[in-house]
């Protein structure tokens, strides 16, 4: 009987360890490449309309200061922990099957140290966080404060200026360099109102009113969105804050207070106005000055063409996009109209769509 070849212990250990080391080296190389790629993307000169680290208002700057305070601590803790992990893996790696790490259970100094140090760090961060929370939740007061009621719908935003008898959708218009107090609620499920360059987030909860104050330093257009998952088209529930110079804001208020101008008799727009009533659009939408058009399920369309976007501030308000929308709304934006969630496909002909668009173009 042949004797099996024996392998020296040193060679056997080398055979066991080498593949693991090779795998570790490859994993480290891949991790390094991923970190380099992420750093490259982060440092790119990109247009970031929802960059919370580019504050354009007082409350947003308050939040940014808290970030500036806590971020160095977070980075320090990250590198400390990861560094210790790497050091321990290397320093106390098993050199033989008999190797075992030294047990430190019962080391009172070590256990007190890694308990007290994080507690003190969290206490410092906690104090500044609580102060910030109280600061941003303080309501704006005074005669110069603009009051707006915000209501979340599946999947669009309604803005009501009760002092001016104005209701609009998706675009929140405000005067620049003036405080605005928002009363935020929802008519269906929980949403979250988030204009990152001007303020933080506040939940829109059915049956409850939450509050947010915001202010824009200068005129401009600021993007935002719903930040709470709210169903099928959550990602398509965006918003826009338009900050005007004071005189321009007063002009916008005057324009919004006007009733919709009637379409000229015999025109394509007049045919569209009749079709708007015949197709039952008045049951969901309001158009001020049109008898029976007082629906609140969908957005107020009285001044539709004073806005730049529609359908939850997702699509540019152009003839092409509006035509596609009227042809088949659920095809452009995921919705379940049968459950009362969004606009249904009305089966309109191309001629009917042309007439409706002609009418809507008069709603300025």
Domain range for 287:
268-360
**Does one domain contain both 247 and 151?**
yes
Q: Tell me the average pLDDT of the chain.
A: 87
Residue 50 lies in a domain: no
Going by C-alpha positions, the residue among 149, 126, 167 that lies closest to residue 295 is: 167
Question: What total of structural domains would you count in the chain?
Answer: 2
Residue 202 lies in a domain: yes
Q: What is the rounded average pLDDT of the residues 218-230?
A: 96
**Does one domain contain both 237 and 330?**
no
Residue 328 lies in a domain: yes
Helix (H), strand (E) at residue 172: strand 171-175
Instruction: For the chain, give the number of residues.
Output: 364
**Does one domain contain both 211 and 308?**
no
Range name among 7-11, 36-40, 162-166 with the lowest pLDDT average: 7-11
The total of other beta-carbon atoms located within 10 Å of residue 350's CB is 10
Residue 218 lies in a domain: yes
Long-range contacts made by residues 164-169, C-beta under 8 angstroms, separation at least 24?
164/253, 164/256, 164/257, 165/257, 166/253, 166/256, 166/257, 167/286, 167/300, 167/302, 168/256, 168/299, 168/300, 168/303, 168/307, 169/299, 169/300, 169/307
pLDDT category at 15 given cuts 50, 70, 90 is very low
Residue 141 lies in a domain: no
Range name among 65-74, 212-221, 287-296 with the lowest pLDDT average: 287-296
Range name among 6-15, 75-84, 150-159 with the lowest pLDDT average: 6-15
pLDDT category at 337 given cuts 50, 70, 90 is confident
Range name among 50-59, 92-101, 303-312 with the lowest pLDDT average: 92-101
Whole-number pLDDT of residue 148? 97
Indicate whether 34 pLDDT > 70.
Answer: no
Whole-number pLDDT of residue 341? 84
pLDDT category at 13 given cuts 50, 70, 90 is very low
Whole-number pLDDT of residue 110? 82
**Does one domain contain both 220 and 322?**
no
Indicate whether 350 pLDDT > 70.
Answer: yes
Q: What is the rounded average pLDDT of the residues 1-13?
A: 49
Q: Of 206, 227, 257, which marks where a domain is finished?
A: 257
CATH code of 324's domain: 2.60.40.420
pLDDT category at 56 given cuts 50, 70, 90 is very high
Whole-number pLDDT of residue 252? 97
Q: Of 213, 229, 257, which marks where a domain is finished?
A: 257
**Does one domain contain both 217 and 288?**
no
**Does one domain contain both 231 and 286?**
no
**Does one domain contain both 151 and 208?**
yes
Helix (H), strand (E) at residue 224: strand 220-226
Q: What is the rounded average pLDDT of the residues 15-44?
A: 58
Most confidently modeled range among 27-36, 40-49, 282-291, 308-317:
308-317
Strand partners, 226: 193
Whole-number pLDDT of residue 12? 46
Whole-number pLDDT of residue 16? 47
User: How far is residue 242's CA from residue 58's CA, in Å, rounded to a whole number?
Assistant: 16
Indicate whether 47 pLDDT > 90.
Answer: no
Q: For strand 146-153 and strand 180-186, is the pairing parallel, antiparallel, or unpaired?
A: parallel
Whole-number pLDDT of residue 165? 94
Residue 274 lies in a domain: yes
Residue 312 lies in a domain: yes
**Does one domain contain both 164 and 252?**
yes
**Does one domain contain both 214 and 288?**
no
Residue 206 lies in a domain: yes
Indicate whether 88 pLDDT > 90.
Answer: no
**Does one domain contain both 165 and 242?**
yes
**Does one domain contain both 229 and 324?**
no
Proportion of the chain above pLDDT 90, given as a percent: 68
Count Cα neighbours of 259 within 13 Å in the Cβ-side half-sphere: 9
**Does one domain contain both 252 and 154?**
yes
User: How far is residue 70's CA from residue 78's CA, in Å, rounded to a whole number?
Assistant: 12
Indicate whether 17 pLDDT > 60.
Answer: no
Q: Of 201, 223, 257, which marks where a domain is finished?
A: 257
Going by C-alpha positions, the residue among 156, 185, 154, 149 that lies closest to residue 170 is: 156
Q: Between residues 241 and 94, which one has the greater pLDDT?
A: 241
Whole-number pLDDT of residue 4? 47
Strand partners, 223: 240
């Amino acid at each position: 009987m042949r004797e099996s070849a024996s392998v020296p212990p040193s060679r056997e250990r080398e055979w066991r360890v080498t593949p693991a080391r090779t795998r570790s080296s490859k994993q480290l190389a891949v991790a390094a490449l991923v970190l380099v790629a992420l750093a490259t993307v982060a440092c790119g000169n990109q247009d970031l309309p929802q960059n919370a680290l580019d504050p354009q208002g007082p409350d947003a700057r308050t939040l940014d200061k808290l970030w500036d305070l806590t971020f160095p601590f977070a980075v320090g803790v990250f590198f400390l922990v990861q560094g210790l992990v790497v050091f321990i893996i290397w320093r106390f790696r098993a050199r033989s099957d008999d190797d075992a790490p030294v047990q430190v259970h019962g080391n009172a100094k070590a256990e007190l140290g890694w308990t007290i140090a994080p507690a003190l760090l969290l206490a410092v961060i906690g104090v500044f966080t609580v102060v910030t929370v109280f600061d941003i939740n303080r309501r704006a007061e005074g005669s110069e404060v603009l009051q707006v009621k915000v209501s979340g719908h599946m999947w669009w935003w309604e803005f009501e200026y009760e002092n001016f008898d104005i209701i609009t959708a998706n675009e929140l218009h405000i005067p620049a360099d003036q405080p605005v107090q928002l009363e935020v609620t929802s008519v269906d499920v929980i949403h979250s109102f988030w204009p990152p360059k001007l303020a933080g987030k506040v939940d829109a909860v059915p049956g409850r009113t939450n509050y947010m104050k915001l202010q824009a330093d200068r005129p401009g257009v600021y993007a935002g969105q719903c930040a709470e998952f709210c169903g099928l088209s959550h990602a398509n529930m965006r918003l826009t804050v338009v900050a005007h110079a004071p005189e321009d804001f007063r002009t916008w208020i005057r324009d919004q207070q006007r009733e919709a101008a009637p379409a000229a008799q015999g025109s394509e727009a007049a045919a569209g106005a009749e079709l708007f009533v015949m197709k039952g659009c008045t049951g969901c939408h309001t158009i001020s000055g049109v008898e029976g058009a007082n629906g609140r399920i969908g957005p107020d369309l009285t001044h539709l063409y004073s806005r730049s976007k529609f359908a939850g501030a997702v699509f540019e308000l152009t003839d092409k996009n509006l035509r596609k929308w009227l042809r088949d709304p659920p095809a452009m934006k995921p919705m379940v109209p049968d459950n009362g969630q969004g606009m249904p496909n009305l089966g309109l002909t191309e001629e009917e769509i042309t007439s409706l668009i002609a009418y809507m173009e008069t709603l300025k």
